[in-house]
Amino acid sequence: MVPVIETESLSRFFGPIRAVDGLTFQVYEGEVFGLLGPNGAGKTTTVRLLNGVLRPSGGQARVLGLDPAREGGRLRQQTGVLTETLSLYERLTARENLALFGALYGIPEMELARRVARMLEEFGLADRADGRVGEFSKGMKQRLALARALLHEPPLLFLDEPTAGLDPEAARQVTEMIGQLSRREGRTVFLCTHNLTEAQRLCDRVAVMDRGRLLALGTLEELSRTFWPGLPVEIGLGAPLTDAAVGALRRLPGVRDVQHEDLWLTVSVTDENMVPAVVETLVREGARILHVVPRQPSLEEIYFAIRGDQAS
Amino acid sequence: MNGRTLRTLAVKDLKEVQQNRAAWIPALVVPLIFMVVLPLGIILAPNLMQSMSPLMAPSGPVGMMRERIPALAAELAGLDERQAWVVLMTGYFFAPFILIFPLMFSTIVASESFAGERERKTIEALLYTPASDGELFLGKMLAAFVPAVALTWVSFLVYGVVVNGAGWPVMGRVWFPPVSWWPLMLWVAPAVAALGVAATVLISTRARTFMEAYQMSASLVVLVLALVAGQITGVLYLSPPVALAVGLVLWLIDGVLIRLGVRTFRREALLISGRG
């Protein structure tokens, strides 16, 4: 795996505020890497540092083999950034916005008009190409900003809260576009978000950050193993369970926890090899089992487990 | 420096300003007053007066100016009272006033360009482009400098038409511009525009809103008012050699400010100073 981003104790302080505090991580070519955290966690500052828009107070970074602090211009030629505030020129048209940034990214003039038209078409904005951006809906602006970030075909894409403020339909559209960029076009995507459902759908690996510091990093499975010990198994019942059956389950070696509510039972076991023993015990105790579903914890559950772990 | 980047940044700023009425309406109204309404009033005022003698007497304003500035006296020699009034007021008193325009035009566009962008939260995407810090600084400067000089020259042209047209019954010939205006227009006005732009762009990186940047940079008008006061009191007559010298000093200051801007301007200043 080829790392496209490598940081070593990367830090940025604003006076007494430690916006980014000793970040060390790698992002590999072609993956969708999610940076999760609440507002003020330091996600946007990290993106700025990785693009050479801010200089670090300490530590270092290599992005696409370049030092952002010293080779920012060359680096930004190869990165596309969707900023959280979109930063579109609302008094200009969609076409003018794209043409402006295309020129700044050095797309040859001969090719620029064709490339702009193609992006407008791809992002479903062709019929409003010459309309003022100020009159666009939030979803259209988001798509235009995404088109702008991709106009110069960068291999590395930074997306800062790409679905913030969008209605569910527009958010889904944008999420699908991001998925396509990674799967179909092989681009590396660095996704900053606090939308955990979106991150779970899109990300190969995630890092959780808070108050400038990295709390956890890994795939969903890795984080699950570390921060969510045990596999929850959900069991649907045809009749209420007896106390004796619950007691028998609790005594079973490898069972960490049992939650029982009406006709639902959640048994937390060490791993999925324990599932037959759980079923066997319930049958022996006369339980009527309708279905058994071993469930991976969601990213949201893991995220709060990480935050809770840090707080304690 | 990439010429295409500079041109793109400049054209974008001009398009933005063109769409911002709050920015360009003052840029049309003020010149209209100074270049059309006031000169017309001055030229036509003697028609309402019974006698011009109080103005032209040695103790009156025109007489005093003649006495204080011998070069001016030579220019007015051979003119009758009304002609001397027209030449003195529209050709002499008004000369430094026109230097307000390059300053006003340049500070409006330059304030809009950085502080205005930050106010509308459009600056960040620009900072993520490969444009260097120097290119961003110079591109923004160019966007304000070119139209400031162009609009000043258009104002000068309009003023020339108004003064010669309205003054024709009195002067009987095309007399404007006198030779002293050429160095002002071709040498001093661009230097004033460059001063306004360079100072405003430097200020704009620190100010949060368009109005804050515009108000801070508008204090530069004190420089022009000093020239106006100097001219009116006869302390500093903007003859061609004096205008060339004033222009040279301004260009030297411009050079220092631009060099300082290109060397010290850092894109992160636009993000950090905007932190609320």
Both tokens of A145, joined, read 């900003």
Across the interface, whether the CB atoms of A83 and B126 are under 8 A apart is answered no
To which residue do tokens 């769409």 refer?
B19
Beta bridge partners of A34: A191, A206
Query: Measured between beta carbons, which residues in chain A are less than 8 angstroms from residue B12?
Result: 89, 92, 100
| Beta carbon pairs, A and B, within 8 Å | 77
DSSP H/E element including B168: helix B133-171
Q: How far is the first Cα of chain A from the last one, in angstroms, to the nearest whole number?
A: 35
Query: Which among A91, A101, A145 has the least Cβ separation from residue B129?
Result: A101
Q: Alpha-carbon distance A23 to A210, whole Å?
A: 11
Give the distance from residue A10's alpha carbon to the nearest chain B alpha carbon, in angstroms: 17
| Chain B hits for A92, Cβ within 8 Å | 12, 15-16, 19
Note whether B128 contacts A79, CB cutoff 8 Å. Answer: yes
State the DSSP code for A66.
B
Concatenating the DSSP letter of every residue in A186-255 gives: --EEEEEES-HHHHHHH-SEEEEEETTEEEEEE-HHHHHHHHS-SEEEEEEESSPPPHHHHHHHHHSTTE
Question: What whole-number distance in Å separates Cα of residue B69 and Cα of residue B75?
Answer: 10
Buried/exposed code over A156-166 (b: 16+ C-beta within 10 A; e: otherwise): bbbbbbbbeeb
Query: Which tokens in the block code for residue B59?
Result: 């103790």
Q: Which of B21, B128, B133, B137 to mutate to test the interface with A (most CBs of A within 10 A)?
A: B128
Is A81 an interface residue toward B (CB < 8 Å)? yes
Render B23-69 in DSSP notation, one character per residue: HHHHHHHHHHIIIIIHHHHHHHGGGG-S-SHHHHSTTSHHHHHHHH-
Please name the member of A53, A73, A92 whose beta carbon is closest to the beta carbon of B15. Answer: A92
Angle of the B221-233 helix axis to the B100-111 helix axis, nearest 10: 170
Cα Rg, chain A, nearest whole Å: 24
Best CA proximity match to A28, nearest among A228, A180, A163, A219: A219
Q: Helices (H) and strands (E) in chain B — how many of each?
A: 17, 0
Taking the Cβ of residue B267 and every Cβ of chain A, the question of whether any pair is shorter than 8 Å is answered with yes
- A8 to chain B, any CB pair closer than 8 A? The answer is no
Find how far residue A193's CA is from the centre of its chain. Answer: 6
A238 in contact with B, Cβ within 8 Å = no
- Most B CBs within 10 Å, among A44, A66, A98, A104, to test the B interface: A104
Report how far residue A8's alpha carbon sits from residue A26's, in angstroms, rounded to the nearest whole number: 9
Check CB contact under 8 Å for B131 and A103: no
In three-state secondary structure terms, B117 is helix
> CB–CB of A88 and B123 under 8 A?
no
- Residues in chain A predicted with pLDDT less than 70, given as ranges, are 309-312
Peptide bond into B177 cis (omega under 30): yes
CB contact under 8 A, A91 and B132: no
Tokens at A112, concatenated:
């620029």
Cβ <8 Å between A100 and B8: yes
User: ∠ at Cα B16 (B10, B20), nearest 5°?
Assistant: 140
Ranges of chain B whose pLDDT falls below 70: 50-58, 61, 205-208, 210, 273-276
Nearest residue, CB atoms, A53 vs list B12, B122, B128: B128
User: Can you give the pLDDT at residue A56?
Assistant: 96
Contact between B130 and A77 using a beta-carbon 8 Å cutoff: yes
Q: Does B22 touch chain A (CB under 8 A)?
A: no
Residue A104 to residue B129, Cβ atoms within 8 A: yes
Partner residue opposite A54 with nearest CB, options B2, B132, B268:
B268
- Compute the distance between CA of residue B172 and CA of residue A222 in angstroms, rounded to an integer: 94
